[in-house]
Amino acid sequence: MPAPAYARLFRAGTPAATPRFAGLPKYNFVGGHNDPTRIPVDALADAAAAALRREGSGLALYNMGQGPLGHDGLRDMVADKLRRHRGVDPCTRDDVLITSGSLQGLDLVNDLLLEAGDTVIIEELSYGGAISRVKKRGVTVVPVALDAEGMRMDSLADALDALKARGVTPKYIYTIPTIQNPTGSILPLDRRHRMLELARAHGVPVFEDECYADLIWAGSGTAPPALYALDPAQVIHIGSFSKTLAPALRAAYAVAPQEVLWRLVSLKTDGGTGAVEQMMVAEYFSKHFDSHVAALSGVLEEKLRTMVEAVEREFGAAAELFIPKGGIFLWIRLPDGVDVAKLVQPAARAGIQFNPGPEWACDPASAKSQLRLCFALPSKEEIREGVAAFARVCFEETGIPAQSANVRHGAG
């Protein structure tokens, strides 16, 4: 790609060109893709058509003439879901801002709160897109330790106290309490109360990301209420339909106190979020949310089981697994000697893509030997084959795992 003559005018620090798209890998374990067989194609076609026939003429107006918070029907649906599933009560359409994906929610909240030199608190392992966005703004990230139940409150208290001693008020505590990304934990109720207590005491808002909270295994029990439900004045809450319906839709939401919500609107200068997707999701999920999500969670749990079996078979004791309570990914820790960054290229040559741990860590070096595998997109067969292929690549590059599926490597 030759650069144009005016390339010297590009802003300093603008990122390099993305490599031209070369198609998807055979074994695709990255990102937030979902199961193509679980897209309710006919029902969505019916929903889109019905909604368009009923209210399509409203497309002639920005935001369908319904104002900048978004489609009334979708906001009703979100409010209903938050009341019934996340303990947010009362909750009405007036509390809900529809966003173009939860990434836009992240951007808007960051626009409202952050400038270079600021500090935020994030779980030590967290969503890569949240960490990278904050760092790109020149904001300092203070990590808080996780355990099997999510954010550790002693670590949060220590972090807040240490910052206070230095005269620093962090701009927010970013947390994924319900199906933590990437470890898949659910934060218990007592920790939720404690987090809010600390947030109030230090005057810091909690930024709650519940992208995966609707996808919980039947056996995982009921998740505690959202943090936003426990103290709406202290929390900015975002959620999405990317994981429960489809990521190629850009339909997500933010819920926050009125003053915050309408400030986010002032920062949302995009001419509105696409209305057809909003009306389609409203039409379909107003009727089918619970049944759709229950069926999808069942399929995902089966795929998780397939992946866990495959990883245990191929990696044996070399892999420490964080079994998630829901969601679409499995977090894995390999022995300290393994540098997963060095596996990216060889894996790609074998048709395998995965999320290297360092991109999901506040301190990248701390997750040098960790990685995330998404199990939602590939079939069970592809999961088995892909994990086996990945184990071969890993052995060839690092000598680990020494044995796969009862076959000792390097013995032949």
Instruction: Enumerate residues 228-247 that contact a copy of itself by CB under 8 A.
Output: 233-234, 242, 245-247
For residue 41 the two structure tokens come to 């194609």
Q: In Å, what is the CA distance from 197 to each residue of 201, 220, 257?
A: 6, 26, 18
- Binding residue for a copy of itself (CB under 8 A) from 81, 93, 171, 392? 171
* 266 contributes a contact to a copy of itself by CB under 8 A: yes
**Of residues 131-160, which lie at the interface with a copy of itself (CB under 8 A)?**
133
* 203 contributes a contact to a copy of itself by CB under 8 A: yes
Helix, strand, coil: what percent of the chain each, to 5? 50, 15, 35
- Binding residue for a copy of itself (CB under 8 A) from 74, 78, 141, 251? 251
CA–CA separation, 404 and 85 (whole Å): 42
For residue 400 the two structure tokens come to 């680990």
- Contact pattern for a copy of itself over residues 334 through 373, marking x by CB under 8 A: ----------------------------------------
Range in contact with a copy of itself (rule: CB under 8 A) among 58-66, 177-185, 317-325, 402-410: 58-66
* 270 contributes a contact to a copy of itself by CB under 8 A: yes
- Give Dmax over CA atoms of the chain in angstroms: 70
Range in contact with a copy of itself (rule: CB under 8 A) among 59-67, 148-156, 214-222, 352-360: 59-67
- Binding residue for a copy of itself (CB under 8 A) from 117, 166, 258, 336? 258
Q: In Å, what is the CA distance from 398 to each residue of 60, 278, 386, 402?
A: 59, 48, 18, 9
| Buried b or exposed e, range 200-213, using 16+ CB within 10 angstroms | eebebbbbbbbbbb
Cβ at position 153, least distance to a copy of itself in Å: 20
Give the residue among 227, 209, 253 at the shortest CA–CA distance from 79. Answer: 253
* 49 contributes a contact to a copy of itself by CB under 8 A: yes
- 8 A C-beta contact, residue 352 and residue 406: no
For the chain, the distance separating the N- and C-terminal CA atoms, rounded to the nearest angstrom, is: 46
Pairing between strand 206-209 and 140-144?
A: unpaired
Amino acid at 362: C
Q: With respect to a copy of itself, which residue has the nearer C-beta, 37 or 406?
A: 37
Q: With respect to a copy of itself, which residue has the nearer C-beta, 21 or 165?
A: 21
* 92 contributes a contact to a copy of itself by CB under 8 A: no
- Binding residue for a copy of itself (CB under 8 A) from 157, 267, 341, 388? 267
* 33 contributes a contact to a copy of itself by CB under 8 A: yes
* 167 contributes a contact to a copy of itself by CB under 8 A: no
* 380 contributes a contact to a copy of itself by CB under 8 A: no
Cβ at position 256, least distance to a copy of itself in Å: 8
Cβ at position 272, least distance to a copy of itself in Å: 6
CA–CA separation, 228 and 195 (whole Å): 12
Q: With respect to a copy of itself, which residue has the nearer C-beta, 101 or 386?
A: 101
Cβ at position 348, least distance to a copy of itself in Å: 16
* 36 contributes a contact to a copy of itself by CB under 8 A: yes
* 9 contributes a contact to a copy of itself by CB under 8 A: yes
* 182 contributes a contact to a copy of itself by CB under 8 A: no
Range in contact with a copy of itself (rule: CB under 8 A) among 40-48, 286-294, 317-325, 350-358: 40-48
Range in contact with a copy of itself (rule: CB under 8 A) among 99-107, 187-195, 351-359, 378-386: 99-107
- 8 A C-beta contact, residue 188 and residue 222: no
Alpha helices in 316-351 (DSSP H): 344-349
* 186 contributes a contact to a copy of itself by CB under 8 A: no
* Length of the chain as a residue count: 412
Helix 258-267 crosses helix 102-113 at what angle (to 10 degrees)? 100
For residue 58 the two structure tokens come to 């409203």
Range in contact with a copy of itself (rule: CB under 8 A) among 78-86, 208-216, 250-258, 330-338: 250-258
Cβ at position 178, least distance to a copy of itself in Å: 21
CA–CA separation, 387 and 167 (whole Å): 48
Beta bridge partners of 228: none
C-alpha angle 383-356-219 in degrees, rounded to nearest 5? 50
* 227 contributes a contact to a copy of itself by CB under 8 A: no
* 407 contributes a contact to a copy of itself by CB under 8 A: no
CA–CA separation, 395 and 318 (whole Å): 11
Number of residues that bind a copy of itself (CB under 8 A): 104
